[in-house]
Structure 1
Amino acid sequence: MSIELLRNQISKFLGSETPEVLAIRGEWGVGKTFSWNKFLEDAKNEGRIALKRYAYVSLFGCNSLDNLKFKIFEQVIDTSTIGVKSNIETFRKSIESLTVGRKILKFIPSLPSFRNANISLLLDSIAFLSLNKIIICIDDIERKGDNFKIRDLLGFISLLKEQKNCKIIIILNSEPLNNNEDNDLKIYREKVIDIELLFDPTPEECTEIAITSDNYCSLQIKELSKKLEIKNIRIIKKILRLSDQLESLLKKYEPELIYQALHSMTLLALCYFQRGNDKIPDYDYIKNIGYKIHGLNGKEENIQEKQWNSFLRKYSFYKIDEFDLEIAKSIENGFFNEVSLLAEADKLNAKIIADKSENSFSEAWKKYHNTFANNQEEVVSSLYDSFKKNVYYISPLNLNGTVKLFRCLNENEKADELIEFYINNIKTNKSIFDLKNSPFANHIDDPKIIERFNCESKSSEDDRSPEEVISSLADKNGWSQNDIEILSALTVDDFYQIFISQNGDHLSGWVDACLQFAQISNASDEEKMISNKTIEALVKIGKQSSLNARRVAQFGIRIEGDI
């Protein structure tokens, strides 16, 4: 059912005083509750609600009928205040506005046994007596307590309709209930539910519900979400929150970079938040796609991979780069590491500017991708010349893809020449040869490239002292794998000696830099080791004197026996 048809049915339901039960059923995340609240508020604003009182109740953690009765009683509001969140003041007014509630509240204090009364049972009784002619929305049925059976719930809903003249809305997920209660739901729903509406909005309708802003990023997310046919409003909202952060971070960069960020983020977020959905590519498959989609990985695709690659081509997603991987990290962590993101953005932005030139490397690759003509000589010549002109903007992954194509075309001499040309021109950036710490190490598989990169990497081993590494961590708010390897190899005594030998304003920053890994939810074992050894070293320092015990306390270190 479309959103407009659903709106009309709900409008008729709200405009009548007739006691009845309406169910809104749909997949998780499509916006059932969101749409109900919107249509309800619209009806209130237009004066189209027949009954005077309303209550919204989530069954999350609800374990009994008595619990539900009081939840409804607690949430009852006048329909004129729909859209205002419940609080202690609205609760008090709700009690005072109830005829039965007002009388009993005046009468209770005069009871001789008032102090010994079971107030909970008393309030439950008041709650049930008060539930007359109310619109009640019951949500999150699948999250109710295990002891609260679906048949008991539906029986109570029937009672509310038949004896209390209430109108009840039930919001149901299409997914099966826990504890095999689907059979009970099927049996009783036919007896209890008068109207059942299937909420199955189109991707276009879901984006209209979720995205109301008309700024550039929001409009792009709307179009990209439609293209991916995203129907989960929660996921669209998460993408929007991330895009808001991206917009402020990337506003100084080329429009193509901003579009790539939004394009990649929308796909990666969908695949990350809907892992296990066979209809969309696996999240880890995308992160490690390399040149698979170009047919240059030397392996035959299985049926699943063919479907995934077709999905990605339809979305115009052909490769993933270091910038995309930074965005992937932000999706996993829930925030952006500005230092590492902007470092990759700077590199990509320079490449985009270079790609805009007539002789760009991307243009050269189009002679391979965009035709079935017999143009091998033109492809080789164009890629060879463009590679040399744009060498500073070519990643190791692009180098590997170009070399593999040349070898497939029996151009081994040119392939080897490009490898040497690349190394000789990129020598100043030694970190690029460190395949061990490259996110694309598994996809750089040309033996010659691996051999030459390893040779260059060994010639530039990291010889920094631990103090230099810690200082770097404190100053740049980021780290490399080399930093982690150097610090994780230190002993507790090493950290102790480093901290005890330092004096000055930088000391607290150094300690915080070493402790920060304890706050990271997905920290590696090596990163956890750094923080754990740091804590042990601080404990050792704190035990030296009461003064030092108080000094380390500022870092959350509690020394036993210290006051």
Structure 2
Amino acid sequence: MDAEKIKLELDYFIDNPLPEVLILKGKWGSGKTRLWQDYFLTSKNIINEEYKTYSYSSCFGCNSLNELKKQISENRTQIKNKPPIHYTLKEIFEVIFSKQKDKKSKLKSLFSKLYSHLPQEGKISFIAGSLFGLISFLFNFIFTKLAEIFSISDGILLNLGTIYNRISFALIKKSIVCIDDLERKGKGLEIDDIMGLVAFLKEQRLCKVIIILNENAFSDLGPELKQIIKYKEKVSDSEIEFTPSIDELIEIAKPIGKNEPHSIIEYCTKLDIRNIRIILKINKFIDRLHSIHPEYEMESDTRAYLYNKIVFYFFHHYSKEPDNTAISSTIKIEDIPDLLNGNFYTQLASSSDERFSEDKEIVDSKVQILLEYGGLEVDSFDEILTTYLKSGEFNTEKLALTIKEISNRLTRYREQGSLDDIRNLWLRNLSDDTTQLRDLIFQRAYSGIQYWSGNDLRSMIFYLDDIIQDEDGTKEIIDLFIEKQGLIEEVFDLSDPDPIYTSPPTNEYFLQKCNEFQEMKKRNLLEEEILDDVFQNSRIDPEQKQVLENSESAVFLEYMEKIDDRKLHSKMQRTIQLISTSRPLLEKMEEALSTIGSGSNYQKMKVVKHLETIQSHLKRIKETEGTNREQK
């Protein structure tokens, strides 16, 4: 039965003035409790006037009937949104015993408020019950304090507590009572005791009782399942089973305050997820993800890629039922990247892991589930999800960088389709007329070269240099790539060739840029070594000084950002003193510190004194240079 039909049955159950028992059953995690609670919260203002109070209790871990009775009485609340009458009575007593002035008008207001709470019928019993609520609260508070002062034994407290609980339970009448989690009861609580209590509440206390249970959970318990079947026929008036669709589960589990659930229906449907607890965990992670990267700022394909992988990992981590399609019984979530990369079977063959003692056909079927799911690629998001699911760590900085990388990659894939157009055009038109091919290459380059991979650039160099034989065009496309992406290692480091692209271009201008990259790499390593010497050992020779004076300010910034905040102050003092006679080095240091200080007030506070020292040295150097010019 779907959610709408269940709600119609609940309407009939609530509207009927007679006491009765309803059993709401469904599979584990199907959202039975969530459905009932959502229904009750939205319906309680138009609830049956015959039933003034409501109590929810769970049998989870409950080991005796007295524990369950105590829960029912302690959790009793008024259904209407008015505050319970004993709160008003408490206010009256506070005013009577207070020293405030104008008690008369205050009491008059409170008694009017008290009168507005009284029902038209049964005023005496209602007042008696409310007075008991107040008296029991005062009794409990006073006796606890006395017990602390006079060291009253636990036995006496236990006996008095039992008396209090019995009196409190005696006031349960004409209530709506929900008893949940029968299948999770403690060993000391018997099914026939629970059912006997349900019958008592209905017949003697004129209550409406709704029982929520997963009947399938008793299938392995034999005698208890027989007891359930036996007593529910005698006790219950009606029985309904909640079998929601995936769409309904996602709607029920949508985050509080959102009009629409997260768009995960497609991925939950692929895996046939029918457990609301897993969906709630997925929603929680997605909400945290959007706290650092709002949904409205995310491209639809990026969001789809992330949701697809989140749903897959969460399902296969949390789904433990033996009859589902989860791979978690065979493959751990940390195995998934190896499987997608094709390394899984190699590991399986050489592993002594007990998971791989299963029949190979079973393993194959589990692997096939993963491969058929689709849309999965190995990237740093796999590691983020695995770490979160294993340890609960949510690495905000790494996740933000990963989302940016994925977004760029997917944007590049969109552009890659246009590069395929270039390849197709070349294959269709192998004549000497290459003007159309050249125009299409530059059209695609100026619209999306910032998303090209190294292989994309090399392919276009092949067309321009080898096919079209356009030397100027080849040079232009290489310069445009460097302008947008820089001399990146993926493209220009031929010392570590890409295994996918075994034949790098032979174009002279491209090879010249590869040599420039190698020189830049050597220079960066040399500059870092010199900065290590300066900051760690407080020394610099004239040759090292010359290298740093010819370097970029960014070199200083990158190095200084790596220094531990606790050591920055002392290292900066020594380094500034060491380079205090070099105007170029002081200016580079000033620029780097200014950039660091612009990050936040805390960062500004860290560098402000060092900036003042540098500016003092620069002022002295400039004055000296001015004096020297005048003398000349």
TM-score by length of 2: 0.53
CA pair 151-350 structure 1, distance change in 2 beyond 3 A = same
Aligned residue for 1:147? 188
Rounded to whole Å, the distance in 2 between the matches of 1:426 and 1:203 is 58
Aligned residue for 1:444? none
Q: For 1:240-283, what per-residue CA distance to the aligned partner results, in whole angstroms no more than 9, with x for missing partners?
A: 22112222434566543333112211211111121455533425
Question: Given that residues 217 and 262 in structure 1 are in contact (C-alpha distance below 8 angstroms), is that contact kept between their aligned partners in structure 2?
Answer: no
Question: Given that residues 16 and 50 in structure 1 are in contact (C-alpha distance below 8 angstroms), is that contact kept between their aligned partners in structure 2?
Answer: no
Q: Are residue 356 (structure 1) and residue 423 (structure 2) matched?
A: no
CA pair 205-298 structure 1, distance change in 2 beyond 3 A = closer
Rounded to whole Å, the distance in 2 between the matches of 1:41 and 1:62 is 25
CA pair 42-389 structure 1, distance change in 2 beyond 3 A = same
Aligned residue for 2:212? 171
Q: Are residue 259 (structure 1) and residue 341 (structure 2) matched?
A: no
Aligned residue for 1:199? 242
Aligned residue for 2:2? 2
CA pair 107-342 structure 1, distance change in 2 beyond 3 A = closer
Query: Within 5 A, what are the aligned runs for 1:135-534?
Result: 135-177=176-218, 181-211=224-254, 218-251=261-294, 254-275=299-320, 277=322, 279-283=324-328, 284=331, 287-290=334-337, 302-308=360-366, 310-312=368-370, 315-358=373-416, 386=456, 388-389=458-459, 417=503
Q: For 1:96-144, what per-residue CA distance to the aligned partner results, in whole angstroms no more than 9, with x for missing partners?
A: 946357479879999xxx9978321221321332122211101122333
Q: Are residue 32 (structure 1) and residue 32 (structure 2) matched?
A: yes
Rounded to whole Å, the distance in 2 between the matches of 1:279 and 1:107 is 50
Q: CA deviation at 1:227?
A: 4.0
Aligned residue for 1:42? 42
Q: Are residue 121 (structure 1) and residue 162 (structure 2) matched?
A: yes
**More divergent stretch after superposition (197-206 vs 63-72):** 63-72
3-state SS, counterpart of residue 288 of structure 1: helix
Question: Given that residues 355 and 363 in structure 1 are in contact (C-alpha distance below 8 angstroms), is that contact kept between their aligned partners in structure 2?
Answer: no
3-state SS, counterpart of residue 142 of structure 1: helix
3-state SS, counterpart of residue 217 of structure 2: coil
Q: For 1:317-355, what per-residue CA distance to the aligned partner results, in whole angstroms no more than 9, with x for missing partners?
A: 343322333233233333421233234344434433433
3-state SS, counterpart of residue 56 of structure 2: strand
CA pair 155-309 structure 1, distance change in 2 beyond 3 A = same
Q: Please tell me the residue identity of whatever aligns with 1:75.
A: N
Rounded to whole Å, the distance in 1 between the matches of 2:299 and 2:197 is 60
Question: Given that residues 217 and 244 in structure 1 are in contact (C-alpha distance below 8 angstroms), is that contact kept between their aligned partners in structure 2?
Answer: no
Q: CA deviation at 1:35?
A: 0.8
3-state SS, counterpart of residue 220 of structure 1: coil
Q: Please tell me the residue identity of whatever aligns with 2:314.
A: A
Q: CA deviation at 1:22?
A: 0.9
Q: Please tell me the residue identity of whatever aligns with 2:412.
A: A
| Structure 1: unaligned runs, 5 residues or longer | 367-382, 396-401, 404-413, 419-423, 430-463, 479-498, 507-563
Rounded to whole Å, the distance in 2 between the matches of 1:324 and 1:202 is 29
Rounded to whole Å, the distance in 2 between the matches of 1:364 and 1:216 is 44
Rounded to whole Å, the distance in 1 between the matches of 2:43 and 2:179 is 19
CA pair 360-305 structure 1, distance change in 2 beyond 3 A = farther
Rounded to whole Å, the distance in 1 between the matches of 2:345 and 2:195 is 59
Rounded to whole Å, the distance in 1 between the matches of 2:303 and 2:254 is 19
Q: Please tell me the residue identity of whatever aligns with 1:323.
A: F
Q: Please tell me the residue identity of whatever aligns with 1:145.
A: G
Percent identity over the alignment?
26
Rounded to whole Å, the distance in 1 between the matches of 2:46 and 2:312 is 39
Q: Are residue 133 (structure 1) and residue 166 (structure 2) matched?
A: no
Query: Within 5 A, what are the aligned runs for 1:41-80?
Result: 41-48=41-48, 50-80=50-80
CA pair 333-295 structure 1, distance change in 2 beyond 3 A = closer
3-state SS, counterpart of residue 239 of structure 2: strand
**More divergent stretch after superposition (155-164 vs 300-309):** 300-309
Rounded to whole Å, the distance in 2 between the matches of 1:290 and 1:228 is 19
Q: CA deviation at 1:385?
A: 6.4
* Equivalent residues, number: 411
Q: CA deviation at 1:165?
A: 1.6
TM-score by length of 1: 0.58
Q: Please tell me the residue identity of whatever aligns with 1:333.
A: S
Aligned residue for 2:593? none
Structure with max Cα Rg: 2
- CA-based RMSD of the aligned residues comes to 5.3
Rounded to whole Å, the distance in 1 between the matches of 2:251 and 2:137 is 51
Q: For 1:512-559, what per-residue CA distance to the aligned partner results, in whole angstroms no more than 9, with x for missing partners?
A: xxxxxxxxxxxxxxxxxxxxxxxxxxxxxxxxxxxxxxxxxxxxxxxx
Aligned residue for 2:128? 99
| Structure 2: unaligned runs, 5 residues or longer | 92-116, 118-123, 147-155, 350-358, 425-452, 461-480, 482-487, 492-497, 505-512, 519-531, 537-557, 572-632
> Which of the pair is proportionally richer in helix?
2
Q: For 1:479-505, what per-residue CA distance to the aligned partner results, in whole angstroms no more than 9, with x for missing partners?
A: xxxxxxxxxxxxxxxxxxxx9xx8979
Rounded to whole Å, the distance in 2 between the matches of 1:160 and 1:426 is 87
Question: Given that residues 239 and 265 in structure 1 are in contact (C-alpha distance below 8 angstroms), is that contact kept between their aligned partners in structure 2?
Answer: yes
Q: Please tell me the residue identity of whatever aligns with 2:307.
A: L
Question: Given that residues 251 and 261 in structure 2 are in contact (C-alpha distance below 8 angstroms), is that contact kept between their aligned partners in structure 1?
Answer: no
Question: Given that residues 28 and 173 in structure 1 are in contact (C-alpha distance below 8 angstroms), is that contact kept between their aligned partners in structure 2?
Answer: yes
CA pair 348-68 structure 1, distance change in 2 beyond 3 A = closer
CA pair 98-309 structure 1, distance change in 2 beyond 3 A = farther
Aligned residue for 2:545? none
Q: CA deviation at 1:200?
A: 1.0
Question: Given that residues 17 and 50 in structure 2 are in contact (C-alpha distance below 8 angstroms), is that contact kept between their aligned partners in structure 1?
Answer: yes
Q: CA deviation at 1:6?
A: 0.8
